[in-house]
Amino acid sequence: MRKLFFFIKPMANRYIGFLMFLFVYTMIMQRCGGLFSVLTNWRLEIPLLLYLYYYFNLITRKSRLQCLLAGVPVLLVYGIFDFYYLQLGGVLRLIEVTELPELFLVMPFGAKIFIGLLLGMPIIAFLLSVQLCRFRQLLLGTLPLLAILVAVERYPEFFMAAFEGTHKKIDWMSDAESLRSNGRVSMALYNEARRKSCLKKTAAYRGDSFFKRTFDDTVVKVRTLRTKHNVHLIVLESFIDPNLFREAHFSRNPIHPSFDSFFKGKGGFSVSPVFGGATAQAEFEILSGVPAMQELSGIEFNVFTGAKTLCLPNLLAQGGFHTVATNAFLPDFFNSLNAYEGMGFERIFFPRDYAPRRETYFSTGDVTGERYMFDGNLFTQNLAFVAKWFKENPGRPVFNYIIGIYGHTPHDINTEKRPKVVKMLGKVRDYQLERAVNQCYYRTKAIASFVKELIRIDPKSIIILVSDHLPPLTYGPNTYRDLNYLGKSQNYIHMNRIYIVENGQPVHYDTIHHYDIPRLILSYVTQAKYDHKVAAKTNFRNVGFSITDFHEQYMAIMANAMNEEPLFSPIE
């Protein structure tokens, strides 16, 4: 018994030490802006890491350094996850591992040497310590790992069901939050299983199709235009028009006078696929031209791999436009990096505050007391960016896509910078709505200033401003019902404001859906008359809408978004 105790004690100390080191490392990385601590990942992540550490102890030579060398592969994997997140702001997926050599190739020579030594020396030391003569242990020890990989690659639906049944809920809005709950390696395996599952469903829709040929025809039409006008598409986070609450009363008009006088009642409505959240669903429709049907994922963006697909930015890019996406929030939110790249944006910018090592032209500014970047700060910096682009690239049109974040729940407003100007009156009180209304006053002022200056520097262009979705406020749909939003008309909680300016003049369109915006833009670019009969007066979730009208196009877009083979040939 005593001999057994002396055998177990150093082993226990070794594994406890490994866990403690891992906990400390991940907590330090979290404080330095990396991914979250592994401390709470006890379902699959920590048992899997302990098994790997046991296996590497089993196959390496006994020495004073064995306890350190056995932990090298695990720590390197974790280091790569954190390095990727710190450098690019995204969460690494298994499919992206193949892109790491390309990332290495474009690094400065000094960085290549440093990373080569940082990775190479521990790997070489570990490999030299492996006892190749222990063939049986080497082979048998890989069987549990192979079983997991086979489940992920060959039986992804089974793996996903088992994972979802035993782990904490997946956060569809943020990869980083999912990693906080479930772990780095675990979520990498889950995301790979989800990708494999989706690929099976979309196999028949890849490559050449009717929609690909229609896409190519439109590219040719755009490319051969003599004059190409710029496109500015601005998605406003949770933007509401307080005057649409028919039973709400305010101490003054919440819309800034400069906004009111410019648009003169020309605002329209666009039907969003979501209420209260999931901005990526609204973005998907706005940029793809199809409804967000959720057939392959709860959030379509989450299954994009960066592969090019049949979306508006790709079409404009191939037609000669410079396509630029500016996102005022985190790069890993809703898998935005991969989604934007797959949709066809040539340059993707995030605030340097959230992605300090990425190329960018803007920062959040002071967000004290508000959490999120103010629209006015975003617009001012974007104006400077596009003005510089026009000066340095005369004749080349731009697709300038902006997605803001100000106005996000809980609508915090710094009253020192933006004093309260509107008071909510009446019996029904919703304090989030009151804050949102005051935000609206300052947002509409910033929008009016932005649009007027954009018209001055780019008079022959189309400018579209659209709300992604209505905010949930304090009581969700109840607030909208109690305050008689839009007279509680059909689908009222999905009705969002849209403002369109063509060649310097605001224009009004009948109610459309978010997925009609690409057709509206292309009609302007190609100087064709816009026909929104396709946008029936019912949302696709309502009875009467035929899902088959868009289903094949949706599947073609998603199939190519997850495809590993390039869809487009290089343009000469």
Spatial neighbors of 298 by CB under 8 A, at least 6 apart, are 172
pLDDT single digits (tens) 137-167: 888 989 999 999 999 999 999 999 999 999 8
Q: Residue 572's pLDDT band (boundaries 50, 70, 90)?
A: very low
What's the CA gap between 3 and 467, in Å, rounded? 70
Note the Cα 426 to chain centre separation in Å. 39
What's the CA gap between 320 and 224, in Å, rounded? 9
Query: Cis before residue 331, ω within 30 degrees of 0?
Result: no
The DSSP-derived string for 369-418 is TTSS--HHHHHHHHHHHHHHHHHHSTT--EEEEEE--TT-TT----TTTS
Q: Determine which of 86-90, 212-216, 443-447 has the lowest per-residue pLDDT on average.
A: 86-90
Q: Determine which of 26-40, 75-89, 528-542 has the lowest per-residue pLDDT on average.
A: 528-542
What's the CA gap between 520 and 504, in Å, rounded? 17
* 318 neighbors 223 (Cβ within 8 angstroms): yes
Q: Determine which of 35-44, 164-173, 407-416 has the lowest per-residue pLDDT on average.
A: 164-173
Percentage, residues of the chain above pLDDT 90: 57
DSSP-assigned letter for residue 245: B
- What SS3 class is residue 160? helix
Mean pLDDT: which of 65-74, 261-270, 441-450 is highest? 441-450
pLDDT single digits (tens) 76-114: 999 888 887 776 556 787 876 755 665 565 455 776 788
What's the CA gap between 258 and 342, in Å, rounded? 38
Note the Cα 145 to chain centre separation in Å. 31
**Arithmetic mean of pLDDT over the chain:** 86
Q: Residue 463's pLDDT band (boundaries 50, 70, 90)?
A: very high
pLDDT computed for residue 546 by the predictor:
55
State the average pLDDT over residues 464-470.
Answer: 96
Q: Residue 477's pLDDT band (boundaries 50, 70, 90)?
A: confident
* Domains of the chain with bracketed CATH: 11-203 (no CATH), 231-561 (3.40.720.10)
540 has pLDDT over 80:
no
Amino acid in position 144:
P
Mean pLDDT: which of 26-30, 102-106, 446-450 is highest? 446-450
Tokens of 403: 């997605």
Is 257 or 178 the better-scoring residue by pLDDT?
257
State the average pLDDT over residues 176-204.
Answer: 85
310 has pLDDT over 90:
yes
pLDDT computed for residue 551 by the predictor:
83
What's the CA gap between 97 and 74, in Å, rounded? 16
Instruction: Work out the number of other CB atoms within 10 angstroms of the CB of residue 446.
Output: 21
Percentage, residues of the chain above pLDDT 70: 89
State the average pLDDT over residues 21-33.
Answer: 89
State the average pLDDT over residues 525-553.
Answer: 57
Query: Cis before residue 156, ω within 30 degrees of 0?
Result: no
Q: Give backbone dihedrals phi and psi of 464, rounded to 5 degrees, phi first.
A: -120, 125
Tokens of 212: 């690909």
Is 2 or 567 the better-scoring residue by pLDDT?
567
Tokens of 468: 């992604």
What's the CA gap between 554 and 310, in Å, rounded? 9
pLDDT computed for residue 77 by the predictor:
92
Q: Determine which of 72-86, 214-228, 444-458, 506-520 has the lowest per-residue pLDDT on average.
A: 72-86
Sign for the pseudo-dihedral over CA of 11, 146, 82, 297: negative
Rg of the chain taking only CA atoms, in angstroms: 26
pLDDT computed for residue 538 by the predictor:
35
Q: Residue 535's pLDDT band (boundaries 50, 70, 90)?
A: very low
pLDDT single digits (tens) 356-415: 888 999 999 999 999 899 999 999 999 999 999 999 999 899 999 999 999 998 899 999
State the average pLDDT over residues 229-254.
Answer: 95
Per DSSP bridges, beta strands 398-403 and 505-507 are unpaired
The DSSP-derived string for 527-544 is T-----TTS-SS-TTSTT
State the average pLDDT over residues 22-44.
Answer: 87
